[in-house]
Amino acid sequence: MTQSNIIVALDYPDSNAALHMADQLDPARCRLKIGKELFTRSGPDIVKMLQQKGFDIFLDLKYHDIPNTVAKACAAAADLGVWMMNVHTLGGPAMMSAAREAIGSQHDAPLLIGVTLLTSMDQQTFEAIGLQGTIQETVLRLAVMAADNGLDGVVCSAHETSMLKAELGSQFQLVTPGIRPAGSAKGDQHRIMTPAQAIQAGSHYLVIGRPITASVDPMQKLIEIESELA
């Protein structure tokens, strides 16, 4: 297993495109994230194919359902041998603890991560769905709930990591998207940090998509990011 803290987001519509990108990367130097689009089209087969190439897989399906259903889905993901998976913390304490119980806590169990509030949620949407207070307070409350119910960490903005680390300690894993090396296009991300800034602020894992996958030489870009971190 690699020690890399870089997770490359394989946001592709089919397995050919995902495999083509994976072939340009080194499993000793990054892990891969499979999300809803790729998984819905290519299913467990793409997970297995990428694992056979030596990659650790973060299965980013953000499960959110009744506790029994989420527990069964998590057990199925664990059977695929993924390295990390996630659930939506808004599913509540019983759902999160059912997920934990379903995959166990042995050292080889997948890392179980919670999504707090999606970064696409602005204050207006937050209020429209009936949530109260501030987005930041809510992220903190949901992250504390995740920790209390056995999750290993949360997905969060790099701008939230120092608050979460102060509250939850340095063992609670913070997985941060919205990473842009200096000079990369922001794309649709708003609150960005460079890889070094994010690690400095307390991120354990960096989810990086387009800065690597849209680069003319993805492996070279990965090496540049590694050296920025070193």
Calculate Rg over the CA atoms of the chain: 17
Specify whether 62 is catalytic: yes
Distance CA 217, CA 172 (A): 33
- Tell me the CA distances in angstroms from 194 to 74, 145, 181, one per residue in order: 32, 28, 5
Distance CA 193, CA 178 (A): 7
Among 208, 218, 222, 225, binds ligand C5P (CB under 6 A): 208
Task: Specify the residue, 108 or 188, whose C-beta has the smaller distance to ligand C5P.
Answer: 188
114 binds ligand C5P (CB under 6 A): no
Please count the residues of this chain forming the interface with ligand C5P, following the rule CB under 6 A: 15
> Near ligand C5P by CB under 6 A, which window of 20-28, 70-78, 143-151, 203-211?
203-211
Among 93, 196, 210, 226, binds ligand C5P (CB under 6 A): 210
181 binds ligand C5P (CB under 6 A): no
Name residues contacting ligand C5P, limited to 146-165 (CB under 6 A): 155
Helix (H) or strand (E) holding 171: none
φ, ψ of residue 81 in degrees (nearest 5): 80, 25
Task: Specify the residue, 101 or 162, whose C-beta has the smaller distance to ligand C5P.
Answer: 162
Among 13, 43, 104, 187, binds ligand C5P (CB under 6 A): 187
DSSP string, 63-109: E-S-HHHHHHHHHHHHHTT-SEEEEEGGG-HHHHHHHHHHH--STTS
- Catalytic residue from among 62, 72, 165, 221: 62
The alpha carbon torsion through 17, 195, 33, 87 (nearest 10 deg) reads -150
List of residues contacting ligand C5P (CB under 6 A): 9, 11, 35, 118-119, 155, 177-178, 187, 189, 207-211
Known catalytic residues are 62
